[in-house]
Amino acid sequence: MTSGEDSGTRVLGLIGEHLDSIRAQLTDEQYQLLLTRLRALADTPPDDSRAVRRAFQAVRLCLVPLPFDHPVREALDSVRLVATAPVSRPVVLRTRDLLARLTAEPPRPPDTAAVIAAVERRLLRTPALSAAEVRGRYRGSAPPPELIRLADPDLGDRYPEFQFRPGGGAPYEVVLEVNRVLLADADPWGAADWWLSGNAWLGGGPPVALLGVRPDRELVGAAVALVEGD
């Protein structure tokens, strides 16, 4: 296994080398979100190892739609970004170097807020339960923090319905487990996007379509492979 520093900076280097093919393989929204997540990583304090790890994970989530045989996707499997200060600083500095080079290359990405807003609008279109409905299922108690909770500017907090068993049931245990792996409490939008977007590790379809179809361990394994690298 390569070190976090070597593997993390290697992925960032490959992004720079294969930027044209990445743009060709991703949709406009996916590519702009990747650039947005790279900016967030570049702006992360280099010595805050936990924040760097989360920001780097968000970048990795953006690369999941790439084909299995793409050099960047192949490199993801070798990445294990451990939470230590010696790893964090070179990853952030390499990201800043990458973005400095990209600033001279057209087209310029749109406003960061606009990119994130477009992603959030898409995710908010999925069927969801209101906060009151979820509290009702827990008889007024607070729901588990692992549940994905998306803030809708018009309707308030919304919990994507796919997390729950049909007929008013409790959450799927595998959903809670995957959400813990994806740090859904810190990045609910990233976790929701993982569930609802195509995933080459799982055959190309969205993981949400595989609930109750594929073994739970495969869903958890795909999430762990993304976050930790195998």
What local confidence, expressed as pLDDT, does residue 164 receive?
93
What local confidence, expressed as pLDDT, does residue 92 receive?
86
What local confidence, expressed as pLDDT, does residue 146 receive?
93
What local confidence, expressed as pLDDT, does residue 123 receive?
92
What local confidence, expressed as pLDDT, does residue 65 receive?
86
Claim: this prediction has a pTM higher than 0.75: no
Q: What is the pLDDT along the chain (230 residues), one digit of tens a residue?
A: 344 446 678 888 888 888 888 888 888 888 888 888 898 888 888 888 888 888 888 888 888 888 878 888 877 765 544 333 335 778 888 888 888 877 655 555 556 677 788 888 889 999 999 999 998 888 878 889 999 999 998 889 999 999 998 887 889 999 999 999 999 998 999 899 999 988 877 877 889 999 988 899 999 998 888 877 54
What is the residue whose two structure tokens read 């093919």? 21
